[in-house]
């Protein structure tokens, strides 16, 4: 059932359209990520949901209740939307203890002391802060400060949790741990999450569905697997995961890498249009690498990435990135090799 609905939402800053005619339906209890490069409109969208920015066009509602409407001149302020918000910069109060940071929003609402104690205590326990609840933030790590922000947002029993790149200031290991903690908290409390990030790994790991944005326009909405396996455009393909784009010429049932006909052809099963100059898109992990069959290439560089070997292979003037398990027969720099492309995606040449 749709819980958070954006209908034809537009936001402009002067002559710049930051968000252009965006319509979304986010389900109750869903973890929904907005992903895209800097300046694509994802944070502006989150701020409109939170009530920090007015809409120039369209409407926004949650649970069937209207929150913002330009046409009806209707607006519910942020403090009355019952949304939790966690910012990139933690935004904890340094002069208040962990307990007081979490309890303060409840005190502002005028709740009874017993209810404040119950809600704040529960949020602190679930975020693993019980042992430091009387400690001040400047004595804590970045991960603990982020947990304070999460606990403070959880304590108000939000219907929607808004997360604005909350993990970007953490080191990689802690960032990975916090992803799992956020998902666990969502399962325990049942709130809807709207998560803004430019990190595709975070979005893939956390999300039930992902919105990919570019220049204020929605490019694709889908599950992580749908977006990874069936990208709607070349932009989405290139933004999600590692990618190769090869300029090719298609003739009959074969294709040649442009400018490298001497490297030989490879078969085209579906998608490539005969007589056309096209772009072949493929993932580095999906490229076949052997000594016997395929397009002739030369290993230009290789790097060991734990269990994976990352190759940069030249086919004429075109470089192809290939990743293989290190236990497979390795190729050295300068060695000839053969590449195959078993399941590419095809795009018209830009």
Question: Which CATH number does the domain housing residue 214 bear?
Answer: 3.40.50.300
Do 213 and 285 reside in the same domain of the chain? no
DSSP 204: H
Do 259 and 344 reside in the same domain of the chain? yes
CA distance 192 to 215: 26
Do 125 and 105 reside in the same domain of the chain? yes
What is the model's pTM?
A: 0.86
Instruction: Give the residue, 146 or 310, on which the prediction is more confident.
Output: 310
Q: What's the whole-number mean pLDDT along residues 9-16?
A: 96
- When divided into structural domains, the chain yields a total of 2
Could you tell me the CATH number of the domain that includes residue 278? 2.40.50.140
Helix (H) or strand (E) holding 259: none
| Residue that terminates a domain, selected from 217, 235, 253 | 235
Task: Output 99-108 pairs: Cβ under 8 A, ≥24 positions apart.
Answer: 99/124, 99/133, 99/134, 101/137, 101/148, 101/151, 101/152, 102/148, 102/151, 102/152, 102/155, 103/155, 104/152, 105/152, 105/155, 105/156, 106/155, 106/156
Q: What pLDDT does 270 receive? A: 65
| Residue that terminates a domain, selected from 186, 216, 235 | 235
Check pLDDT > 80 for residue 190: yes
Do 291 and 195 reside in the same domain of the chain? no
Give the pLDDT band (50/70/90) at residue 168. confident
CA distance 283 to 171: 27
Check pLDDT > 90 for residue 340: yes
Check pLDDT > 90 for residue 177: no
Q: What pLDDT does 156 receive? A: 87
Check pLDDT > 90 for residue 86: no
Do 193 and 330 reside in the same domain of the chain? no
Q: What pLDDT does 288 receive? A: 93
Provide the residue range defining the domain that includes 62. Answer: 2-235
Do 207 and 70 reside in the same domain of the chain? yes
CA distance 257 to 263: 8
Do 298 and 342 reside in the same domain of the chain? yes
Q: What pLDDT does 145 receive? A: 87
Do 219 and 285 reside in the same domain of the chain? no
Q: What's the whole-number mean pLDDT along residues 177-192?
A: 84
CB atoms within 10 A of CB 180: 11
């Amino acid at each position: 059932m749709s819980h958070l609905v954006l209908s034809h939402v537009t936001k402009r800053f002067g002559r710049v359209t930051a968000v252009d005619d965006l319509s979304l339906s986010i389900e109750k209890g869903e973890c929904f990520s907005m992903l895209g490069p800097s300046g694509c409109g994802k944070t502006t969208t989150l701020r409109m949901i939170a009530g920090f920015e007015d809409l120039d066009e369209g409407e926004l509602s949650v649970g069937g209740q209207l929150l913002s409407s330009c046409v009806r001149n209707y607006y519910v302020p942020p403090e009355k939307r019952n949304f939790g918000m966690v910012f990139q910069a933690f935004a904890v109060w340094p002069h208040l203890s962990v307990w007081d940071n979490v309890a303060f929003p409840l005190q502002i609402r005028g709740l009874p002391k017993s209810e404040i104690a119950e809600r704040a205590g529960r949020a602190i326990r679930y975020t693993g802060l019980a042992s430091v609840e009387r400690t001040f933030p400047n004595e804590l790590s970045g991960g603990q400060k982020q947990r304070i922000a999460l606990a403070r947002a959880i304590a108000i029993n939000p219907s929607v949790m808004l997360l604005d790149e909350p993990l970007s200031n953490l080191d990689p290991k802690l960032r990975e741990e916090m992803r799992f903690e956020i998902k666990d908290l969502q399962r325990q409390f049942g709130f809807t999450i709207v998560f803004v990030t430019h990190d595709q790994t975070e979005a893939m790991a956390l999300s039930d569905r992902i919105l990919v944005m570019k220049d204020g326009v929605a490019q694709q909405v889908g599950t992580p697997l749908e977006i990874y396996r069936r990208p709607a455009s070349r932009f989405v393909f290139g933004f999600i995961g590692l990618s190769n784009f090869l300029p090719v010429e298609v003739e009959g049932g074969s294709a040649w890498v442009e400018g490298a006909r001497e490297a030989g052809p490879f078969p085209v099963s579906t998608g490539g249009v005969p007589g056309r100059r096209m772009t072949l898109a493929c993932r580095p992990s999906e490229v076949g690498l052997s000594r016997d069959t395929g397009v002739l290439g030369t290993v230009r560089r290789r790097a060991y990435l734990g269990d994976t070997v990352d190759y940069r292979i030249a086919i004429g003037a075109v470089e192809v990135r290939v990743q293989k398990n290190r236990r497979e027969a390795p190729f050295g720099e300068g060695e000839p090799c053969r590449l195959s492309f078993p399941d590419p995606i095809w795009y018209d040449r830009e």
